[in-house]
């Protein structure tokens, strides 16, 4: 199984964002995770399509846009134009989930659905056949630097079972509190794509952290 490390620029130094994304890509990032918060769906306010467009030329890997905004549909084409490759959204933020997935795909991007710690997986019942990615939140969305909620592991295993049963290639991403010391357990539960913000940008040597994460992922 291909495993991917997706540094979240939420914990980067925004005054030096171009350098930060260059550095993390050079350090071996597989994706750039881009957290969009609106001070409405979540109690924080971050970055939008302008910033996505600004970093696009600096980034040679896919940009993984995590929308924590409500309503969600109107902003999707803007992110597609700004160079997003993957766009994920929360089912609670959309009145018509199937329509939102269609909008993302019609914009030329891959589509992901995000599950908060208390969001039930039944939202996958009629969507998994169209999704490219499922994102399990292992913290409540809104802030970097929170602790991993252990209940996410059972949820990841259940999603892995559903993806296997579907026979489709769907990425299973986990976001929140991922560190060198818990990434192996998260991978064992079935995740293949690991978002890490403070664990990478909080450190001096991005390459060393990403290598340490990959070391934990390597089969024993």
Quick check: 144 binds ligand DX5 (CB under 6 A)?
A: yes
Kindly list the distances between the CA atom of residue 200 and the CA atoms of 78, 180, 195, 196, in Å, as whole numbers in the listed order: 28, 9, 10, 6
Residue with tokens 């909008």: 103
| Binding partner selected for residue 116 from ligand DX5, Zn ion, none, CB under the kind-specific 5 to 8 Å limit | none
* Cα separation, 2 vs 191, whole angstroms: 10
List binders of Zn ion among 80-139 (CB under 5 A): none
Q: Report the SS3 class of residue 8.
A: strand
List binders of Zn ion among 174-213 (CB under 5 A): 175
Closer Cβ to ligand DX5, 9 or 163, answer by number: 9
Quick check: 203 binds ligand DX5 (CB under 6 A)?
A: no
List binders of ligand DX5 among 43-72 (CB under 6 A): 66
Measured in residues, the chain has a length of 220
* Cα separation, 177 vs 185, whole angstroms: 13
Burial (CB < 10 A; 0-12, 13-18, 19+), residue 197, is buried
Quick check: 35 binds Zn ion (CB under 5 A)?
A: yes
DSSP-H helix ranges across 32-179: 49-55, 76-81, 97-106, 152-166
How many residues at the interface with Zn ion, by CB under 5 A?
A: 3
Contact at 8 Å (CB) between 150 and 124? no
Q: Which of 23, 67, 111, 178 binds ligand DX5 (CB under 6 A)?
A: 178
Q: What minimum distance in Å lies between the beta carbon of 40 and ligand DX5?
A: 14
> Which residue, judged by CB position, is nearest to ligand DX5 in the bound state?
197
| Binding partner selected for residue 197 from ligand DX5, Zn ion, none, CB under the kind-specific 5 to 8 Å limit | ligand DX5
Let me know the angle formed at the C-alpha of 200 by 67 and 42, rounded to the nearest 5 degrees: 25
Segment near Zn ion (CB under 5 A); pick from 96-104, 149-157, 173-181, 210-218 = 173-181
Segment near Zn ion (CB under 5 A); pick from 12-20, 60-68, 146-154, 199-207 = 60-68
What are the residue numbers of the active site? 35, 175
* Angle separating helix axes 17-26 and 206-217, nearest 10 degrees: 40
Closer Cβ to ligand DX5, 98 or 181, answer by number: 181
Q: List contacts with ligand DX5 (CB under 6 A).
A: 8, 10-11, 33, 35, 66, 139, 141-142, 144-146, 175-178, 195-199
Q: List contacts with Zn ion (CB under 5 A).
A: 35, 66, 175
């Amino acid at each position: 199984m291909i495993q991917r490390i997706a540094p979240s620029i939420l914990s980067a130094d925004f005054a030096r964002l171009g350098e930060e994304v260059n550095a993390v890509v050079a350090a071996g990032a597989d994706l750039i995770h881009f957290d969009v918060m609106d001070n409405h769906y979540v109690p924080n306010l971050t970055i939008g399509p302008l910033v996505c467009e600004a970093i696009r030329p600096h980034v040679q890997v896919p940009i993984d846009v995590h929308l924590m905004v409500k309503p969600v549909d109107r902003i999707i084409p803007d992110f597609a134009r700004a160079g997003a490759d993957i766009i994920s959204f929360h089912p609670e933020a959309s009145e018509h989930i199937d329509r939102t997935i269609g909008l993302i795909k019609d914009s030329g991007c891959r589509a992901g659905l995000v599950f908060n710690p208390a969001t039930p997986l039944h939202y996958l019942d009629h969507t998994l056949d169209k999704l490219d990615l499922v994102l399990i939140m292992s913290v409540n969305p809104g802030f970097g630097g929170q602790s991993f909620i252990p209940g996410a592991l059972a949820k990841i295993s259940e999603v892995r079972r559903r993806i296997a049963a579907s026979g489709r290639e769907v990425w299973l991403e986990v976001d929140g509190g991922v560190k060198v010391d818990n990434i192996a357990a998260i991978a064992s539960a079935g995740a293949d794509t690991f978002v890490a913000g403070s664990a990478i940008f909080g450190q001096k040597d991005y390459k060393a952290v990403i290598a340490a994460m990959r070391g934990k992922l390597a089969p024993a």
